[in-house]
Structure 1
Amino acid sequence: MTQTLPTVDRLPGIWPAMLTPLRADGAIDHERFVRHGLALLASGCGGLTPFGTTGEGPSFSVAERIAAVDALVAGGIPAERLLVSTSACALTDLIALTEHATRIGAWGTMLMPPFFFKGMSDAGVVSVYEQVIAAARAVHAGLDAPQPLRLMLYHIPQVAGIGLTHGVIRELLARHADIVVGVKDSQCQLAHSLSLLEAFAPQLMVHVGNEPDLPELGRRGSTGAVSGLANFIPRTVHRLVSQPDAPGTPGDLAHVQALLGALGGYALVPAFKGILALRDNDLGWLPVRAPLQALTPDDLPGLQATLAAAGHPQRPD
């Protein structure tokens, strides 16, 4: 029997893991950031996720991230349509970012375990989440008419070097079922995502970061995703999860698989920014924060040829 996710507090629709545009001096380009966010919402996205992995989140300071999120809200993006990634190494940074997102009324926060020290015990990981949640609860208690307090766990061990065990998830659910609403599984292994479903649905919503897995999750009740590809093909990504058995789904899936396969020779964040630079004819999208290395204007013809070979330009989203 196919098991479905809970009917309450599902992530509604596609929430692009926003790329973070930078100015020539390396600072975050707030104007371009807001413009990108508004365009994504206008395309039908349920909300936005700033400062995840695709957004180079851990490469920016707490002050930079808070200022940029404030710029999104000041620029007309409702706070309740933001799922703010608050991942960082230092506990005090995690708390500051999560408190800020709570204070402005964000839909929720998304948090991976602190990732500098490896081999941490489940008890150590749970302790970090406990302290962040306690701080968020304290801020939330002092707000007038607040948004529900929501935390999405973030599992991406191949990048972070540390993941979330079933034991950690089970313990956090036992203690904070009113707050821990989901897990974003970006391990990019369908079997692992299905194991999370088997272990925790319907109490916990499970969303995958690997877009080719979206149809299977959609069949099992997933209603949305936090997606890097949604920066430029949000409608395609949404159809994969919302219409998993529609006649056009095999074509959409083939497009996504071909695109990801074609980009296999690139670092994904610089490549994604290159795609936006080509789409918008805007070289201002190219800069990335070190240690990532940006594509140069001379790299763009090769990227364009790679995309053409994958059929991407012929499929406007």
Structure 2
Amino acid sequence: MTSTTTPTVPFSGIWPALLTPLDAQHNIDIPAMARHALALLARGCTGITPFGTTGEGPSFTVEERIRAIDGLVTAGVPAERILVSTSCAALPDVVILTRHALQIGAHGCLMLPPFFLKGVPDQGVIDSFRWVIDTVNDARLRIYLYHIPQVSGVALSHHVIDTLKKLYPSTIVGIKDSGCQREPSVATAQAFMPGVMVYVGNEPDLQTMGRLGSQGAVSGVANITPQLVQRLVRDFDQAGAEADQARVLQFLKILGGYGLTSAFKGMMARLTGEPGWMRVRPPLVQLSDAEYQRLCAELEVFKLDPKKD
């Protein structure tokens, strides 16, 4: 299958899958979230992606998410540099969040298929996206399809992607591929790029996907090492790229010893000196004291360099 639609490259570079800091009551700490977002933009990120998987998106209500996005904009994060994850299990909630993203002038919307019911046929996935797009009914809408079946339980097949792109050629502009399996990611890129840009969600694939023409990434790792990820997107075949790729793999090996979001937040606590970053909303569990100390020791060995990483 080869896309014959007009090429569309809505963004390039790094859009970190933004972490969501919490206060002592486990509500969103909007000032801390804004500081983190602005710091990432200052370190060269093109934009940010709040309330995805790394950002614990499904753990927050529609109202909480709207308040936080408004808070980011009020704090100085340009709306056009926000790719809002509007994913929810209930389609009317997706519509509310999507309309809000359009209202503030966000860059676009990252959208999962409905993810509670499993085993739904392709037609059900197609119908769900159609329901949202037709209900929102706004020519400004730009959707990045979010493929993470190991978490959502609902895959985006080539048939789904192809059908939606043909039905909504100016709305479906990209795919965040976080399936974490290189062969299917390569097959998707070969099938749909350049008409639908495939953005890397699995950092070990940055070089491979860059060579196929991928021009960006929505990356959880970029919360901590934005420059490192950026180099692998921009300079995937330049001198030093192999060393950068090895460093990413070393970093991921550290993360693999813990719950992913809890580990990222532990790293933020260590790097910022703000213990509140440790908090996660249930059902996630924050690092124990012993885990945190072990993580800090591993970071010392890694020798994280904020000027280079």
Aligned to 2:245: 253
Q: Partners of 2:126 and 2:59 in 1: how far apart?
A: 24
Aligned to 1:22: 22
TM-score (norm: length of structure 1): 0.92
Aligned to 2:168: 176
TM-score (norm: length of structure 2): 0.95
**Cα deviations across residues 190-237 of structure 1 (Å, max 9, x unaligned)?**
111111112112211001211111111112222111000100100100
1:192 equivalent among 184, 196, 209: 184
Quick one: which amino acid aligns to residue 128 of structure 2?
V
1:210 equivalent among 184, 193, 202: 202
**Cα deviations across residues 15-53 of structure 1 (Å, max 9, x unaligned)?**
000000000101100000110011011111000000000
SS in 2 for 1:134: helix
Q: Partners of 1:241 and 1:9 in 2: how far apart?
A: 14
Task: Within 5 Å, give how 1:297-312 maps onto structure 2.
Answer: 297-309=289-301, 311-312=302-303
SS in 1 for 2:18: coil
**Does the CA contact (< 8 Å) of 1:19 and 1:54 recur in 2?**
yes
Task: Within 5 Å, give how 1:100-115 maps onto structure 2.
Answer: 100-115=100-115
CA spacing shift, 1:72–1:314, aligned 2, 3 Å: closer
In the TM superposition, what is the alpha-carbon distance from 1:179 to its structure 2 partner? 0.6
Q: Partners of 1:243 and 1:294 in 2: how far apart?
A: 35
**Does the CA contact (< 8 Å) of 1:259 and 1:312 recur in 2?**
no
Q: Partners of 1:169 and 1:293 in 2: how far apart?
A: 35
Aligned to 1:223: 215
In the TM superposition, what is the alpha-carbon distance from 1:290 to its structure 2 partner? 0.3
SS in 1 for 2:15: strand
Q: Which moved more, 1:266-275 or 1:300-309?
A: 300-309
Unaligned regions of 5+ residues in structure 2, if any? none
1:235 equivalent among 224, 227, 251: 227
Percent of residue pairs identical: 50
**Cα deviations across residues 50-73 of structure 1 (Å, max 9, x unaligned)?**
000000000100000010001001
- 1:96 equivalent to 2:96? Answer yes
**Does the CA contact (< 8 Å) of 2:7 and 2:195 recur in 1?**
no
CA spacing shift, 1:48–1:103, aligned 2, 3 Å: same
SS in 2 for 1:116: coil
Q: Partners of 2:13 and 2:233 in 1: how far apart?
A: 9
In the TM superposition, what is the alpha-carbon distance from 1:7 to its structure 2 partner? 5.6
Aligned to 1:80: 80
Quick one: which amino acid aligns to residue 65 of structure 1?
R
Q: Partners of 1:71 and 1:262 in 2: how far apart?
A: 32
Q: Partners of 2:178 and 2:144 in 1: how far apart?
A: 12
SS in 1 for 2:207: helix
Aligned to 2:271: 279
Q: Partners of 2:275 and 2:6 in 1: how far apart?
A: 43
Moved over 3 A (4+): 5-8, 296-299
Aligned to 2:304: 313
Q: Partners of 2:117 and 2:74 in 1: how far apart?
A: 36
Unaligned regions of 5+ residues in structure 1, if any? 142-147
Q: Which moved more, 1:266-275 or 1:189-198?
A: 189-198
Quick one: which amino acid aligns to residue 26 of structure 2?
G
What is the CA RMSD across the aligned residues, in angstroms?
1.7
The alignment of Structure 1 onto Structure 2 pairs a total of residues equal to 305
Task: Within 5 Å, give how 1:289-304 maps onto structure 2.
Answer: 289-304=281-296
In the TM superposition, what is the alpha-carbon distance from 1:247 to its structure 2 partner? 1.2
**Does the CA contact (< 8 Å) of 2:111 and 2:145 recur in 1?**
yes
**Does the CA contact (< 8 Å) of 1:21 and 1:33 recur in 2?**
yes
Aligned to 1:128: 128
**Does the CA contact (< 8 Å) of 1:6 and 1:201 recur in 2?**
no
Aligned to 1:45: 45
Aligned to 2:54: 54
Quick one: which amino acid aligns to residue 228 of structure 1?
G
Q: Partners of 1:312 and 1:7 in 2: how far apart?
A: 41
**Does the CA contact (< 8 Å) of 2:7 and 2:196 recur in 1?**
no
Q: Partners of 1:73 and 1:192 in 2: how far apart?
A: 36
CA spacing shift, 1:80–1:265, aligned 2, 3 Å: same
Q: Partners of 2:294 and 2:274 in 1: how far apart?
A: 16
Aligned to 1:9: 9
